[in-house]
Amino acid sequence: MKGRFGVTNLLLAAIGFISVLSVAAPLWAEEGSTVITGVAAPKSDDIAGKGDPGAELTGTVNDVTVADSKKGLTLADLANQAGQNKVAINFVWTLVTGFLVMFMQAGFALVETGLVRAKNANHTMMMNFMVYGLGLFAYWVCGFAIQMGGSAPIANLGGVYPLNHEFVANLFGKPWGLFGTKGLFLSGATYDVGIMVLFLFQMVFMDTATTIVTGACAERWKYSAFAASTIFLGALTYPLYGNWAWGGGWLSQLGANFGLGHGYCDFAGSGVVHAVGGLTGLAVAMQLGPRIGKYNRDGSPNVIPGHDLVFVLTGCFILAFGWFGFNPGSTLGASGNGCLRIGSIATNTMLAGCTGSLAALLYMWIRYGKPDASMAGNGLLAGLVAITAPSGFVNTVGAAIIGWVAGILVCLSVEFLDRIHKIDDPVGAISVHGTNGLWGVLSVGLFADGRSNYGGSWNGVNGNVTGLFYGDAGQLVAQLIGIATLLGIVFTLSYVFNWIVDVVVGQRVGARAELAGLDIPEMGALCYPDFQLKTADYGAGTSGSVAAPAVAKR
Amino acid sequence: MRLLGVLCIVGGWVLAVGGLFITPSNAGRMVFACLGIALSLYGNLGVLNGYYLERAIWKK
């Protein structure tokens, strides 16, 4: 009896459940496409008749894309439109800031060309011009894949899910992400709208690193050697370090694997872009040796003035303008968690550049009695380089201090390399980008104020990025490991490859070509054919630090 | 001398990263990292650059 009653109840319950399902299931299925009614929309006839001068009728429910016009506007349509709007805002933001960074090439070209002698202007300009083509090609072939091939997901750009494979070596019980493998030639599944945006933005960053080297090696570098060196930097050295820092590689995982803060943090590339470029410049400049006439027989340096300070300072302004793409653009979006910090990042960038310029100007003025134009320009760039890594993690006071230190540091570094180590750097690129790139990396570990993490976790570690001054010593250790890697691995890679180039094709032009100026021997055309160049005055005799002319005069 | 310079430079990195496995304390790791950076800088500006300075064009 008991059993029979149980079976009846079971049958009734089953019938009831099926009845409920049959009613509810369509509702569940349709939940995402619930039709929305009652939304007032302007009539097209109104707009056609009067236009919309007050911007009150444009951008309404009429503009939301409807999947099924018979059904009308649904909740799913609204959700899809909201998602697409977010990604669209981020695409436009990232592309436009990428375009700004691309324009920085013009700034670098002007600064470097202005700081060299007129007889080398075509050669210097053409190096800056062709880093774009050479670097881009190498980066498209394999550089991007090595750097970002395992970086998915990046939510701000719609996921970029095809970039999903990182080569990881398991050493000493820890995973070490070494390089990405997806995205060679941007082919296959990586033919993806989000990945194209990411590629463009990362490519112009890589290009910045390659153009730094041309400044340190100006006025004596063979064009063929420059071309080979640039391709290697764009194809391998830069992407490797970029992967370790930004592509999910081992430096970025120092927090997750070793408990060091949030791992190596480099918001926009003081290390990845500037220190890589500056240290590569150091490696090549060392091998090239100083220009003829730069040092006297007793080792004292001479001044080799640049030929156009107007170029130099105009270039600095263009670079400062482009930096508003460099740093704020590194959020990879203007809509998403933490992305509204773009205002803070832009302000930090502006402040550090200003304090850097001011500090360098005052330093030179107090120490040598005159405000030095080229060093004021280099101070501006030094401040901008230094704030690049911490720009997303510090407050305005921190930014101002970082820039101030950078402005003085660039003057000291130019003197140090010029006088003590006798490394000839015609434009001060090693000091501006190398020294201050390292300072920028370090400053994250000191000044990060623990107020930002851009979406809950940075490098897979929950919480905010916090430096030593705000309570996290581990973050400083992570930054120091990044610096050790730049000095120990990036420099070595650049040195060894450029040594091979030196053996195979030779890095340095002949003495006769150097004295004549590289425009004719290397490029086949003068930059200023209608002008009388004072080659003999500067070629073999008086020369010295262009980056710090006042330094060598005393 | 160039090989010695390169060995110093890479050795600095090995020292810095090795510190992560040698000690779990932040202070200890910081010391190893700083020593590694110093060694790399010595190899770079001291040993390697020293090689090129000996052969500098202005000494000829």
CA distances to A51, A93, A220, A345, A392 from A339, in Å: 35, 11, 44, 10, 10
| Inter-chain CB proximity B6 and A496 less than 8 Å | yes
Q: What is the mean pLDDT for each group of 10 consecutive residues in chain A (554 residues)?
A: 49 57 48 75 82 87 90 93 96 98 97 96 97 96 97 93 96 94 96 97 97 97 97 97 97 96 97 98 97 93 94 97 97 90 97 98 96 96 98 97 98 96 96 98 97 84 95 97 98 97 96 95 93 57 38 39
Q: How big is the A-B interface in CB pairs under 8 Å? A: 95
Cβ distance A484 to B57 less than 8 Å, yes or no, reads no
- Which member of A290, A292, A480 has the closest CB to residue B33? A480
Locate the chain B residue with the closest alpha carbon to A480.
B33
| Contact assignment for B13 to A295 by CB distance below 8 Å | no
- Residue A179's H or E segment, with its range, is strand A174-180
Which long-range contacts link A77-83 to residues 24+ away (Cβ below 8 Å)?
Answer: A77/A33, A78/A36, A79/A32
- Amino acid letter, residue A487: L
Q: How far, in Å, are A7, A14, A15, A65, A311 from residue A2 at the CA level?
A: 9, 18, 20, 60, 99
Measured distance CA(B41)–CA(A484) in Å, rounded: 9
Element (H, E) at A377: helix A373-388
What is the spatial distance between Cα A342 and Cα A330, in angstroms, rounded to a whole number?
A: 9
Per-residue pLDDT, A27: 46
Q: What is the pTM of this model?
A: 0.90
What pLDDT sits at residue A456? 73
Amino acid, res. A369: G
A449: β partners: A466
Q: Name the residue facing B16 among A258, A481, A496 (closest C-beta).
A: A481
| pLDDT of res. A533 | 72
Quote the ipTM score.
0.98
Token duo for residue A164: 């999903």
A437 vs A32: CA distance, rounded Å: 50
Q: What is the pLDDT of residue A544?
A: 35
Note the pLDDT of residue A16. Answer: 59
Helices (H), A217-330: 223-232, 238-246, 254-258, 276-288, 309-326
Contact call for A299 and B58, based on CB within 8 A: yes
Nearest residue of chain A to residue B17 (CA atoms):
A481
| Residue among B2, B9, B57 minimizing CB distance to A488 | B9
CB contact (8 A) between residue A290 and residue B57: yes
State residue A159 phi and psi, 5-degree precision. 110, -40
Instruction: Label the pairing between strands A457-458 and A461-462.
Output: antiparallel
Of A406, A409, A370, residue with least CA distance to A551:
A370
Q: Report, as ranges of residue numbers, the positions in chain B whose pLDDT lies below 70.
A: none
Six-digit token pair at A437? Answer: 């790139």
Out of B2, B33, B55, name the one closest to residue A484 (CB): B33
Instruction: Give the integer Cα–Cα distance in Å for A478 and A259.
Output: 9
3-state secondary structure of A518: coil
Compute the radius of gyration of chain A from its Cα atoms.
Answer: 28
Q: Do B17 and A484 touch (CB under 8 A)?
A: yes
A487–B6 C-beta distance less than 8 A? no
Cβ neighbours of residue A132 closer than 8 Å, sequence gap 6 or more: A105, A207
Q: Which of B20, B40, B55 sits opposite A258 (nearest CB)?
A: B20
Tokens representing residue A37 in the block: 């009614």
Q: Is-cis flag, bond preceding A305, omega within 30? A: no
Task: State the distance between the two ends of chain B, measured CA to CA, in whole angstroms.
Answer: 20
Taking an 8 Å cut-off on Cβ atoms, the answer to whether A484 and B13 are in contact is yes
| Residue appearing with tokens 């305005």 | A396
What are phi and psi for residue A180, nearest 5 degrees?
-85, 160
Strands A457-458 and A166-171, by their bridges, are unpaired
The pLDDT of residue A12: 57
Which residues from chain B sit within 8 angstroms of residue A484, using beta carbons?
12-13, 15-17, 33, 36-37, 40
The shortest C-alpha distance from A172 to chain B (Å) reads 9
Going by C-alpha positions, the residue among B43, B37, B23, B28 that lies closest to residue A442 is B37
Q: Would you call A484 and B40 a contact, using CB atoms and an 8 Å cutoff?
A: yes
Radius of gyration for chain B, computed over Cα atoms and rounded to the nearest angstrom: 15
Four-point Cα dihedral A218, A219, A220, A225, nearest 10: 50
Kind and range of the H or E element at A385? helix A373-388
Helix, strand and coil percent figures for chain A, each rounded to 5: 65, 5, 30
